[in-house]
Amino acid sequence: MVFSNLIRVQAALVYGIITLVVALFVLYLGFMTRYYVLFFDGTFEMFEYYKELQVFNKEAFNITLMFVVMAGMVYLFGLAKYRPGLASWAVAGGAATFVTMRSLALLNVLPLYKQGYLALDFSEMDDYTPTTFVFDAAVWIHYLLIGSFALLVVVATITFVQRLREGHPLIRK
C-alpha cells in the first residue's frame, strides 16, 4: 500500500516537473514580448536596458532548453512508472543538481534585471503600464522547480531503497 502511494507521488512529481519546465520554456520564449516597446518607443536608456535584457533572455532560454532535456530524461528513465534502478536514481539526482545550480544562477540575476526595469522612467511613454509579472513568474517557477526536483530525489531514494530491500537487482532491466 505504501509502495503504490510513493509511486503515485513520484509520478505526480515527474509530471509536475514536466509541467513546470514547459511553463518556464514558454515564459522565456515570450519573455521579451512585453518589453519590445522599450526598443521602439523608449529612450536611449530603455534601448540599452532592452539590449541587456535580450542577452539575459537568450541565456535563460538556452538554460531552459537544457531543463527540457533533463525533464525528458527523468521521464524516459521511467520515474513516472517504476521504482528506480541505479541509473534512474542517478539521473534524478543529476538532473536535480543541474536544474538547481542553473536555477540559482538565474535567481541571482532576475532581481537585478527587475530593479533595472523599475528604475526606468516610463513617463514619456503614453499608454504603457510597467509590469514585472514575467520576472516574478520566472522566480516562482524556478523555486517550484527546485522544490519539485528535491522532493523527487527524496521519494526516488525511498523507492530505490525499498526496491533493494526486496532483493531486486541494483540495475533495472
Other beta carbons within 10 angstroms of residue 33's beta carbon come to 9
Please indicate, yes or no, if residue 36 is contained in any of the structural domains.
yes
Please indicate, yes or no, if residue 73 is contained in any of the structural domains.
yes
82 pLDDT tier (thresholds 50, 70, 90): confident
Can you say whether the dihedral through the CA atoms of 68, 72, 75, 77 is positive or negative?
negative
Domain count, the chain: 1
89 pLDDT tier (thresholds 50, 70, 90): very high
CB contact set of 118 (below 8 Å; sequence gap of 6+): 130, 132
Mean pLDDT of 105-118: 95
123-146 pLDDT, tens digit each: 887 777 888 999 999 999 999 999
Tell me which residue range forms the domain holding 66: 2-165
User: Model-level pTM greater than 0.85?
Assistant: yes
Please indicate, yes or no, if residue 172 is contained in any of the structural domains.
no
